[in-house]
A and B are shown apart, each in its own frame.
Chain A
Amino acid sequence: GAVVSQHPSWVICKSGTSVKIECRSLDFQATTMFWYRQFPKQSLMLMATSNEGSKATYEQGVEKDKFLINHASLTLSTLTVTSAHPEDSSFYICSATLLGTDTQYFGPGTRLTVL
């Protein structure tokens, strides 16, 4: 089946630093990937839609200069949290749609803790 991986699975960083999270579709190509954020005991909140070769589309209220998204290839999208602060601590999850289907496959998530 379609597999999506994320790296790292967890990261701890100091306030003010930047953190990059990778999302890869391992056995399929994904022209579109999605980034979500999930706070404890809450639902997933869509942050942005990442399109290969073009700029990401951000949801309302999500700062594009703080959450930089780069979809460099059909199998890789990256999310960089710039100048991270403790309130950015969250669980970040990506997903990718298998071409020709309507199904989104999700990565295992990345737990970010900003001290």
Chain B
Amino acid sequence: SQQGEEDPQALSIQEGENATMNCSYKTSINNLQWYRQNSGRGLVHLILIRSNEREKHSGRLRVTLDTSKKSSSLLITASRAADTASYFCAPDQGGSEKLVFGKGMKLTVNP
């Protein structure tokens, strides 16, 4: 298992703006998952993108994956104050099932 590194570590935007966060990893993966954590709560699974996929959408979320650059991005469009949370990416090499989380990115959406 390997750890993803999110960038930037913190982002503050106004409601209605788009938020983009990036994730880099080191070795080949089976899939990559994005999670959200509200303060003091558990993680919520947002989206999973497989290694043979380049882009995936879910509501206001858009995830891209570039396996040649070993990177992924999560775009949240038309952000809302409720999107304020920490976001984590989890590259999954497959096999062991366990995920290793990086430091995450703290997103603050100001009303």
The number of residue pairs between A and B whose CB atoms lie closer than 8 Å in the complex comes to 54
* Interface: A46 (CB within 8 A): yes
Contact of A102 among B40, B44, B48 (CB under 8 A): B48
A93 to B45, CA, bound (A): 14
Residues on A with C-beta less than 8 A from B88 are 43-44
26 contacts between A and B (CB under 8 A): A43-B101, A44-B43, A44-B88, A46-B98, A46-B100, A46-B101, A93-B42, A97-B97, A102-B30, A102-B31, A102-B48, A102-B97, A103-B33, A103-B45, A104-B33, A104-B45, A104-B97, A105-B45, A106-B35, A106-B42, A106-B43, A106-B44, A107-B42, A109-B40, A109-B42, A111-B40
Contact of B43 among A6, A93, A102 (CB under 8 A): A93
Q: Given A102-B33, A109-B41, A43–B103 Cβ distance below 8 Å?
A: yes
Q: How large is the interface on B (under 10, 10 to 19, 20 to 34, 35 or more residues)?
A: 20 to 34
A22 to B11, CA, bound (A): 35
A positions within 8 Å CB-CB of B: 4, 6, 32, 34, 36, 42-44, 46, 49, 91, 93, 95, 97, 102-109, 111
Other than the given A93-B43, A104-B99, 7 more pairs (CB < 8 A) read A32-B97, A36-B101, A46-B101, A97-B97, A103-B33, A109-B41, A109-B42
